[in-house]
Amino acid sequence: MDRPERDIIGILTGDVRLYYDLARFLRSRNMRFRLLDFKGQVPPDIGVIMTSPDELERIGFEPKVAVTDIEAGMRQALQAMKGMGESQVLIVGVDPGPEPGIAALSGGDIIETRVARSPQQTADIIRGILSDYSYSRSILKIGNGSPEHRDRILELVSGSFDLVEVVDETCTSNQNRGYHVEAAIRIARFGDGR
C-alpha cells in the first residue's frame, strides 16, 4: 500500500479565535487543511501542524509552526511541509498590469500565488514573501508588458533581489481576465525548460 502524500495542513489548537482565523485564511487561499484534536492521532496525510505559541510544546509532531502572524505562519508551514530550506533559490514571477499576478517558486514547485490590486500591493506581497521564506538566492522575473505598472513595481522592490530579469511575456500572457496567476507562473518558469 502506498504511503499518502503529506500535503494537508493540520490545525491543532484550543484557541478558538486562532482556529477561526487560520481556517478562514487557508480557505481564502484554497489550501487544504484539517482541524485536529489533541486526543486523536495525527493522520498520515498531515504535512505540518499549525498551533499557538502556548500549545507548541504539547504537540509531538514535526514539523510544527507556532503562529503569531497568520500570513507569516502560513508561509512557515508551507516551507516546513515542502522541506524547503536556505539552500533553495526563490523565484518570484510577476505578470504586471492593473491587477498583477504573482507566483513564488522554490525548487521548481509553486509555493504561493496571488493577485494584487495595485503595484504597491504587489510590492507588499513580494516583501512578505522575501521575509517569510528561507532561501540562498532570490530572483525576480517580471513580464515586459504594461511598462507603467512594471516600472513602478521594479522601483518599489529595487534592491530586494539578487537578480532581476525582464521576461518577454509574448508566450506567457492570456488575454482572458483572471489568468494573471497562470501568466506569473509561466514568467517565473521562463528559461528553465518548462
What are the tens digits of pLDDT across the range 61-94? 999 999 999 999 999 998 888 877 777 899 999 9
The single-letter DSSP state of residue 112 is E
What average pLDDT does the segment 87-114 reach?
Answer: 91
Domain boundaries, the chain: 8-81, 89-189
| The predicted structure's pLDDT at residue 178 | 56
| 191: alpha, beta or left? (left if phi > 0; alpha if psi -120 to 50) | left
Lowest mean pLDDT segment, chosen from 27-41, 134-148, 170-184: 170-184
Torsion, Cα 11 124 165 135, to 10 degrees, reads -40
- Look up the pTM and report it: 0.80
3-class SS of residue 183: helix
Torsion, Cα 49 92 25 41, to 10 degrees, reads -20
Mean pLDDT, all residues of the chain? 89
| The predicted structure's pLDDT at residue 1 | 45
**Percent residues over pLDDT 90 in the chain:** 72
| The predicted structure's pLDDT at residue 192 | 62
The residues, ordered by sequence, that sit 6+ positions from 148 with a Cβ below 8 Å of its Cβ are: none
pLDDT at residue 98 greater than cutoff 80: yes
What are the tens digits of pLDDT across the range 8-28? 999 999 999 999 999 999 999
CATH superfamily of 8-81: Response regulator (3.40.50.2300)
What is the CATH number that goes with domain 89-189?
A: 3.30.420
